[in-house]
Structure 1
Amino acid sequence: MKKEKEFTIEGCDKKNIKTIVDGINTYNLNQVPAIADIWTPLEFVIKDKNGNEIGGILAGIGYWNGLEIKILWVKEEYRKKGIGTQLLKHTEKIAREKGSKTSMLDTFDFQAEAFYLKNDYTPIGEINDFPMGHKRIYFSKELTNEI
């Protein structure tokens, strides 16, 4: 007796992605009610005096009021001048004003590990040899009422 396949795995289209996101959001919110909008973007660019983009941050606040930093980038020639810290502090301040108590992110040891340590982030986990010879580091920070 040959058993028929009960399931298939296929690539996603936009409708499938919406179904997946809606499904996990429904499940999550049935477990722990939201205290914020599903996603509040906090995305900023920093420009020089001539209007050239020299850095930016892509972040947002999730439905449990956590600040999630996805990308923070500063053009190479402007690094180590406080621009990244300025962007980070600006975003954290707005997140605190919106009720965030925690910030979270990940980076690699060859990217910004020292930067986040300098800005009071605590390493909470890491994956060694990803990529090979390096590590991916996960950080969090409790957002206090500092200004």
Structure 2
Amino acid sequence: MIYNQTYNLDQVAFATEGLKDAQHTMSALKSANKELKGVMKTVNISAIDSMQDEMIDMMDISTEIQESLGRSYNVPDDIDEEELMGELDALEADMGTETESDAVPSYLQPDKESDLDAELNLPAAPMGNAAAVPNRARPQAENEFGLPSVPQASLRS
């Protein structure tokens, strides 16, 4: 019975707190409504629309100015756009072959009549004896990460 009485008192206290919170909320809403009405008296929707129209007009004028300044003076009238697009496609295709790992761009490929090495007068690559290579130049064993392994004499116990 005491438990039920305590529960009822807690319910009444909870309801009282809820009503006080509602009163605070209502007073805050009233003051916000009053302030909003005061601010709305200073705002004129037709003035806002007029300002937006002016902004649109100024942006249009700005675009016209930029287009006028962006004109090119030395572009001939007889340019064939399809020919330009063909050249652009050829350049894109050439650049596409450059991105491949083993491809050589066309401007670096030698002519069919002459060899590039002969044109540049480059000497042939040396062909040496593997026995003449010192020990430090020979490849070392690699560990699991692909790095040179540490000699056993260097490891501390």
TM-score class normalised by the smaller sequence: under 0.3
Larger proportion of strand = 1
Bigger Rg over Cα? 2
Bigger fraction of residues in helix: 2
Bigger relative contact order (CA 8 A; separation at least 6): 1
